[in-house]
């Protein structure tokens, strides 16, 4: 069940929760991820959907947050990581097709593994619980089908 | 405003460090969860949601408001067809690629540059959703 052990997952998850908590206690903001795409698109699209007040109000700190996440992962690689930098072997067409569906789906659902998963469950939201169960089940089924079609990894 | 950004930034550092520490910057590890070979992702999700739950539910009882001012607000989400249809579409994309929004940023930090393709595609997907399905 846990070929890599449980420590990286427990420690990693605790640090993620600490990051969300740190931001919440200081600012009251819910530090979630997928809204970034809509708020950043507000810089480029004048359409009313992207110009919503909540997107305009949060687009600055969401950029800051994304930069922090990138640098935090970079700090891990240059300090504690046993194997250093990493490049995925997942094919480009899977990154492109999967990424498109992730962007579309998370914005339609108003949350992702972070918004529904961490902050939503942390807020004891039943809406988020249904969303999490849905994307877990669908994600597992999809990955199984992809694997059964002989696509590796 | 600058001090708020500093706290958001340092929280982001913790978030990204934790994602990378937990292996989430590697699509292979996410896929090994979705193929049910390594259930660790559930532990990571559980631990992060637990810590967040303690904070969101306890801190507003101890403090009048956030340290930098303002007020503690709960996230409002109402269940609709869009919540579930969106989660289904996200799940398909997650299962195909092993990517999600937060882990995609962490991927860039560990030098996993091909995920730039995924991030560009996520932006496109978010644009198409907002442009045609709103």
Percentage of chain A surpassing pLDDT 70? Answer: 100
Collect all residues of chain B within an 8 Å Cβ-Cβ radius of residue A112: 90, 100-102
Give the number of other CB atoms < 10 A from CB of residue B79. Answer: 14
- Chain B residues whose beta carbon lies within 8 Å of the beta carbon of residue A103: 93, 101, 121-127, 129
Contact B125 A147 (CB under 8 A): no
Q: List the beta strands (DSSP E) in B36-109.
A: none
**Is the whole model's pTM more than 0.90, yes or no?**
yes
Nearest to A15 among B14, B63, B97 (CB): B14
Q: Which of residues 10-69 of B touch A (CB under 8 A)?
A: 10-29, 31-32, 34-41, 43-57, 59, 63, 65-68
* CA distances in angstroms from A59 to A62, A75, A120, B126, B130, listed in the order given: 5, 25, 20, 15, 16
Contact residues, chain B, for A127 at CB < 8 Å: 77-79, 83
Q: Among residues of chain A, what percentage have pLDDT more than 90? A: 99
Indicate the residue of B40, B56, B96 with minimum beta-carbon distance to A122.
B56
Residue B17 is predicted with a pLDDT of: 98
B82 and chain A in contact, CB less than 8 A: yes
Q: Which residues of B touch A110 (CB under 8 A)?
A: 77, 82-83, 86
Contact (CB<8Å) A38/B99: no
Helix (H) or strand (E) run with residue A55 in it: helix A53-79
Task: Judge whether residue A148 has pLDDT over 90.
Answer: yes
**Residue A73: CA atoms inside 13 Å, Cβ hemisphere, count?**
26
How long is chain A? 153
Cross-chain residue pair B93–A73, CB shorter than 8 Å: no
Establish if A33 touches chain B: CB-CB under 8 angstroms.
yes
pLDDT digits (tens, 9 = 90+) for A29-84: 999 999 999 999 999 999 999 999 999 999 999 999 999 999 999 999 999 998 89
Q: How far is A134 from A33, CA to CA, in rounded Å?
A: 18
Q: How many CA atoms lie within 13 A of A122 on its CB side?
A: 34
- The answer, for A39 touching chain B at a CB cutoff of 8 Å, is no
From the list B19, B37, B52, the residue facing A122 with the nearest CB is: B52
Is the CB of A90 inside 8 Å of chain B's CB atoms? yes
Residue B41, token pair as written in the block: 């992702």
Six-digit token string for A30: 């819910």
Do the Cβ atoms of A113 and B100 come closer than 8 Å?
Answer: yes
Axis crossing angle, helix B101-109 with helix B2-21, rounded to the nearest 10:
80
Element (H, E) at A31: none
A42 vs B: CB within 8 A: no
Those residues whose C-beta lies under 8 Å from the C-beta of residue A50, and which sit 6 or more positions away, are: A38, A41, A42, A44, B130
Q: Nearest C-alpha of chain B: how many angstroms from A59?
A: 12
- Chain A partners of B46 at a C-beta cutoff of 8 Å? 13
Tens digit of each residue's pLDDT (9 = 90 or more) over B20-65? 999 999 999 999 999 999 999 999 999 999 999 999 999 999 999 9
Residues B79-133: tens digit of each pLDDT: 999 999 999 999 999 999 999 999 999 999 999 999 999 999 999 999 999 999 9
DSSP state for residue A119 in the 8-state scheme? I
Q: In the predicted model, is pLDDT for residue B1 greater than 80?
A: no
Dihedral of CA atoms A78, A84, A89, A93 in degrees, nearest 10, equals 10
């Amino acid at each position: 069940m846990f070929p890599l052990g449980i420590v990286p997952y427990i420690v990693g998850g605790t640090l993620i929760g600490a990051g969300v908590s740190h931001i919440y206690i200081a600012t009251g903001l819910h530090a979630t991820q997928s809204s970034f795409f809509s708020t950043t698109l507000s810089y480029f699209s004048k359409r009313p959907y992207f110009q919503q007040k909540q997107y305009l109000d949060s687009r600055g700190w969401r950029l800051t947050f994304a930069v922090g996440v990138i640098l935090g992962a970079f700090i891990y690689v240059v300090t504690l990581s046993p194997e250093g930098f990493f490049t995925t072997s997942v094919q480009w067409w899977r990154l492109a097709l999967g990424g498109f569906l992730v962007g579309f789906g998370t914005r339609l659902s108003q949350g992702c593994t972070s918004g529904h998963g961490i902050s939503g469950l942390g807020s004891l939201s039943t809406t988020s619980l249904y969303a999490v169960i849905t994307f877990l089940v669908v994600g597992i089924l999809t990955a199984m089908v992809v694997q059964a079609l002989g696509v590796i990894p | 405003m600058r001090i708020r950004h500093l706290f958001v930034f340092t929280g982001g550092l913790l978030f990204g460090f934790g994602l990378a520490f937990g292996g989430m910057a590697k699509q292979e590890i996410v896929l090994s969860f979705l193929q049910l070979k390594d259930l660790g992702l559930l532990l990571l999700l559980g631990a992060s949601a637990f810590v967040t739950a303690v904070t969101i539910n306890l801190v507003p009882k101890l403090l009048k408001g956030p340290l930098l001012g303002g007020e503690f607000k709960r996230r409002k989400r109402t269940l609709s067809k869009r919540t579930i249809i969106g989660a289904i579409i996200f799940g398909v994309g997650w299962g195909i690629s092993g990517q999600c929004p937060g882990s995609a940023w962490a991927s860039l930090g560990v030098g996993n540059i091909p995920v730039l393709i995924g991030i560009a595609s996520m932006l496109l997907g978010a644009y198409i959703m907002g442009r045609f399905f709103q």
